Structure 1
């Protein structure tokens, strides 16, 4: 079960009674969805996205995200760069600066920000960003990622972990621009493939994009796939 906090205790208790083995994955920080804390008791294994949650909740295990490996290998490139995310005050200014930079570099950048209040985004309307009240399906997001050369990723300050964007960049063989320093702790990290934003190095992005993508081993591509991820959960 993914996002067990969305179910009632009564439903989870019935599932537990009917099942010989139950596994949960809370794919957002427990602090963000605190109801999940009360659901740990209904599962044989309870995995969390934020590694710090394993300290707060000793009966949980950490696991990283993944990329879906069922999409066709070949995908036509339709844009240079892709980003989709909800409006967040702590990252919108940097995203706006990047959108101007990408425009100056003549990149075909598909940048999408989902918002719910017009007052939040009114002063940013002049930037080359697509503001929308409706999001896109997960599959549409993945297809956009596969149709791009570069994926842009921003860390959510609420929790600590790597988003799906990072693993999609790995699995789909895309270059990644991110401000999440945790990527350096993984075996797939390569400075030729992943550019770590630090607030002072935007002028180095053009050199990063000019360099060729560096292929990783097939073992690494397999390690972070959904096929491997789901096998691990039930092993």
Structure 2
């Protein structure tokens, strides 16, 4: 069987799908449009000029042409999975679809944040991590996956709470949480990543507990980063009901987690001893949650959220 995954893989989560497929003996390939780079400085300058003057992003066009070039080399695929298809224009989707017998989409964002309504008729199957979208549009609901091997970290945590995320408006709630932690005399370590981190000065979000960086953290370093904390923090983006990867990373690392996503209580792995759903005013945020140990999940529930099960479900293996 031949399967191709197409995505903009900023955090390198999608590459795990291809690795798992290969473990199962599938001839699998990943076309990461996020990995496309300008050939040289003049090409970058030309793209900048085009965006400003012509309102045309040449880099996006080249990324999409790259997909067709790569598929031309790979040949016909039994299945092609596109993650967040709104990043690709319809005319390119129509060409991509010619390379496969089964065209699948996975929406790892709500339609409210990343509209893809105009593309849904192109796909044979559509999976979504967002409960509201799945119910409203009759998509197949599936969560993100646990890509890590199950492991209980032995070394003692340095901080009470750790958080790693991209720079966006979650920074305002984060600042309130840090203040709450300080009031409770609990420590935290926060890293905010992204090209827009310079905006912290405009928003006056200067806090010694927060490290801002434009440099992308290597995917392989994420588990080590989370191992430094007793508890992980998960903050949802606007218009998001789906579960982030942090929920599943905490599951694999056997770490407790604090989240502002109320839908987590609807899943069979939910345990109030492991997961604290914070109130909007943070009134239920207390030291008590930090003082009790993580409770292991039953093996059958744990496996349900592994990458292996995700791959078997999406590709019907």
TM-score interval for Structure 1 and Structure 2 normalised by the shorter chain: 0.7 to 0.9
1-structure distance, mates of 2:127, 2:291: 39
Aligned: 1:187 with 2:265: no
Give aligned pairs, total: 230
Paired position in structure 1 for 2:192: 113
Paired position in structure 1 for 2:144: 65
Deviation at 1:187, TM superposition (A): 1.0
* TM-score when normalising by structure 1: 0.83
State the SS of the aligned residue for 1:149. Answer: strand
Deviation at 1:141, TM superposition (A): 3.0
Deviation at 1:200, TM superposition (A): 4.3
State the SS of the aligned residue for 1:112. Answer: strand
Paired position in structure 2 for 1:42: 122
Root mean square deviation, CA, Å:
2.6
Paired position in structure 2 for 1:160: 241
The 8 Å contact of residues 232 and 257 in structure 2, kept in 1 or not, is answered as: yes
CA distance change for structure 1 residues 212 and 46 in 2, over 3 Å: closer, same or farther? same
CA distance change for structure 1 residues 139 and 26 in 2, over 3 Å: closer, same or farther? farther
Structure 2 residues not aligned, in runs of 5+: 1-81
* TM-score when normalising by structure 2: 0.64
State the SS of the aligned residue for 1:92. Answer: helix
Paired position in structure 2 for 1:233: 314
Which residue of the other structure, out of 198, 206, 209, is the alignment partner of 2:279? Answer: 198
The 8 Å contact of residues 111 and 129 in structure 1, kept in 2 or not, is answered as: yes
1-structure distance, mates of 2:236, 2:229: 20
1-structure distance, mates of 2:300, 2:311: 16
Alignment of 1:6-45 (within 5 A): 6-34=87-115, 36-45=116-125
2-structure distance, mates of 1:209, 1:191: 12
Structure 1 residues not aligned, in runs of 5+: none
Per-residue CA deviation, residues 100-125 of structure 1 (Å, 9 max, x unaligned), is: 4445666552212242424434x231
The 8 Å contact of residues 257 and 274 in structure 2, kept in 1 or not, is answered as: yes
CA distance change for structure 1 residues 12 and 199 in 2, over 3 Å: closer, same or farther? closer
1-structure distance, mates of 2:227, 2:104: 30
CA distance change for structure 1 residues 86 and 228 in 2, over 3 Å: closer, same or farther? same
Alignment of 1:71-82 (within 5 A): 71=149, 73=151, 75=153, 77=155, 79-80=158-159, 81-82=161-162
The 8 Å contact of residues 150 and 252 in structure 2, kept in 1 or not, is answered as: no
The 8 Å contact of residues 234 and 247 in structure 2, kept in 1 or not, is answered as: yes
Which residue of the other structure, out of 211, 232, 239, is the alignment partner of 1:130? Answer: 211
